[in-house]
Amino acid sequence: MTSLQAIKARFGIIGTSPLLDSALQTAIRVAPTDLTVLITGESGVGKEVFSKIIHALSARKHNEFIAVNCGAIPEGTINSELFGHEKGAFTGAINDRKGYFETANGGTIFLDEVAEMPPDTQAYLLRVLEYGEFIRVGSSKVLKTDVRIIAATNVDLEERVRQGKFREDLYYRLSTVPIRVPSLKDRREDIPLLFQKFASDFAEKYRMQPIRLTEQAQQVLENYRWPGNVRELKNVTEQLSILSEERLITLETLQQHMPHLFARNLPVPFEHHQAKGSEMQDREILYRVLLDMKNDLNDLKNLVLEIIHRNNLQISESSTLRRFSPMVDYVPPSASTAPGIVGQKTPIVIEPTRPPAHPLHPAEEEDAPLAIDEIEKEAIRRALKKHHGRRKEAAEELKISERTLYRKIKQYNLA
């Protein structure tokens, strides 16, 4: 089996992170097989490099390797691109055309951003995976293909399946062997090595001395979250190589040319007033929901009292149901043995001598734990329904900002 270091050298992979090594070892082991592979990871981590490694180490290495970005092809033409079309199948189809699956027969197709694939294309792809069959657009003839499929995505496909946006059967066929490529923030020990490699490459390209980092500047790079991953680090290195007059990059140099690198974005209160404001907005929702629930509960209690009074049920004072006693505006003269004044708000306690036709257990309901997330979700759902999806008016009723409401809608999948 090809050694890990040899693979890194051959494909220009820099790093010693255990997470990176584990992903590479999985790719090396699965390469000689024909198993379908699903590569996941954030944008810019190098998922396509892994697909090339798998193809290069497979028995298909001398045949076609085609990389397709599913998110970059318009929905109306992706079927033609992948499976080909017949002459006259649609406007502009002046000739027969082979698709990628026909062209790459015997080779490998890399489907990047596979989560963006339209539903009908997903069905056609599933047919290829299960039977090796496809039909050109505008044709009725079934064609055969022997293609290995490697897919990649930077989104959570399982979540897309739950949302009904991706076929569950296709997901399981694609993820026969999953490979997770770690993000740069998960392998910070590799940042100095990558920076040094990029700096050397750009120095050779632009015929200048390579830039170097002071210890403090290196710490800044290691602490940055790198949302663009290796691609972003490469861009930063190139910009510093061109913009900085000094070849030694200090804190001052970074602050001058790359001030965004000092943003930590840690999960702590970065501004006291902002954190406090967000916390207060969340509390306002909960307080409002709990107040509505209290009012509903009081209405229910009053309804029970009215039913008891109308049916002349015997009632007596009892400490066992004391928690059930609401403050009511009207007290029937016979509703309590305790002295009371009709029309005055007086707490009363009831205890039926026989169980009602539809037993109620208010004490148990009151003791049941409340799921705060469910309460908040229900309040937002009701507000949106009341205002017919108009978020501005719903936010005003909930006494929160539109931004907070939008965040909550995404959190609870209420869109």
The per-residue pLDDT for range 210-264, each reduced to its tens digit, is: 999 999 999 999 999 999 999 999 999 999 999 999 999 999 999 999 999 987 5
Of the residues 182, 212, 231, the one at which a domain ends: 182
**Cβ of 131: how many Cβ atoms within 10 Å?**
10
Q: Looking at the structure, do residues 68 and 132 belong to the same domain, yes or no? A: yes
Average pLDDT over every residue of 273-289? 57
More confident residue, 176 or 395: 176
For the chain, how far is it from start to end, CA to CA, in angstroms?
Answer: 49
Of the residues 236, 262, 288, the one at which a domain ends: 262
Which of 93-97, 290-294, 409-413 has the highest average model confidence (pLDDT)?
A: 93-97
Q: Could you tell me which residues are beta bridge partners of residue 161?
A: none
pLDDT at 174: 97
Q: Looking at the structure, do residues 175 and 190 belong to the same domain, yes or no? A: no
By C-alpha distance, which of 326, 293, 311 is closest to 358? Answer: 311
- The per-residue pLDDT for range 31-68, each reduced to its tens digit, is 999 999 999 999 999 999 999 999 999 999 999 999 99
**Residue 80 scores a pLDDT above 80:** yes
90: left (phi over 0), alpha (psi -120 to 50) or beta: beta
How do beta strands 148-153 and 37-40 pair?
parallel
Instruction: Assess if residue 385 is contained within a domain.
Output: no
- The per-residue pLDDT for range 302-348, each reduced to its tens digit, is 666 766 666 666 555 444 444 444 444 444 444 444 444 444 444 44
More confident residue, 372 or 247: 247
Q: Give the separation between CA 322 and CA 114, rounded to whole angstroms.
A: 61
Q: Looking at the structure, do residues 213 and 176 belong to the same domain, yes or no? A: no
Q: Give the separation between CA 323 and CA 74, rounded to whole angstroms.
A: 63
Instruction: Assess if residue 39 is contained within a domain.
Output: yes
Instruction: Assess if residue 20 is contained within a domain.
Output: yes
Instruction: Assess if residue 126 is contained within a domain.
Output: yes
On whether the CB atoms of residues 31 and 182 are closer than 8 A, the answer is no
Q: Give the separation between CA 381 and CA 374, rounded to whole angstroms.
A: 10
Report the percentage of the chain scoring pLDDT > 70. 74
Q: Give the separation between CA 163 and CA 295, rounded to whole angstroms.
A: 35
pLDDT at 374: 79
pLDDT at 405: 82
Q: Looking at the structure, do residues 67 and 109 belong to the same domain, yes or no? A: yes
The number of folded domains in the chain is 2
pLDDT at 180: 97
Q: Give the separation between CA 8 and CA 3, rounded to whole angstroms.
A: 9
pLDDT at 370: 52
Positive or negative torsion for Cα 38, 40, 46, 50: negative
Residue 409 confidence class, pLDDT cut points 50, 70, 90:
confident
- CATH assignment at residue 229: 1.10.8.60
Q: Looking at the structure, do residues 175 and 200 belong to the same domain, yes or no? A: no
CA-to-CA separations, 136 to 20, 103, 141, 142, 260, in angstroms, rounded: 40, 13, 8, 8, 49
Q: Give the separation between CA 382 and CA 389, rounded to whole angstroms.
A: 10
Residue 211 is given by DSSP the state P
Q: Looking at the structure, do residues 39 and 103 belong to the same domain, yes or no? A: yes
State which amino acid sits at residue 49: V
pLDDT at 178: 97
Q: Give the separation between CA 214 and CA 200, rounded to whole angstroms.
A: 16
By C-alpha distance, which of 365, 354, 352 is closest to 300? Answer: 365
Q: Give the separation between CA 134 and CA 109, rounded to whole angstroms.
A: 15
pTM above 0.75, yes or no: no
Q: Looking at the structure, do residues 206 and 239 belong to the same domain, yes or no? A: yes
Instruction: Assess if residue 166 is contained within a domain.
Output: yes
Q: Looking at the structure, do residues 163 and 209 belong to the same domain, yes or no? A: no
- The per-residue pLDDT for range 87-138, each reduced to its tens digit, is 988 888 889 999 999 999 999 999 999 999 999 999 999 999 999 999 999 9
By C-alpha distance, which of 263, 245, 242, 248 is closest to 218? Answer: 248
pLDDT at 413: 83
Q: Looking at the structure, do residues 174 and 241 belong to the same domain, yes or no? A: no
Q: Give residue 257's domain range.
A: 186-262
Place of tokens 């199948």: 89
SS3 97: strand
SS3 213: strand
More confident residue, 1 or 116: 116
On whether the CB atoms of residues 407 and 292 are closer than 8 A, the answer is no
pLDDT at 86: 94
**Residue 351 scores a pLDDT above 50:** no
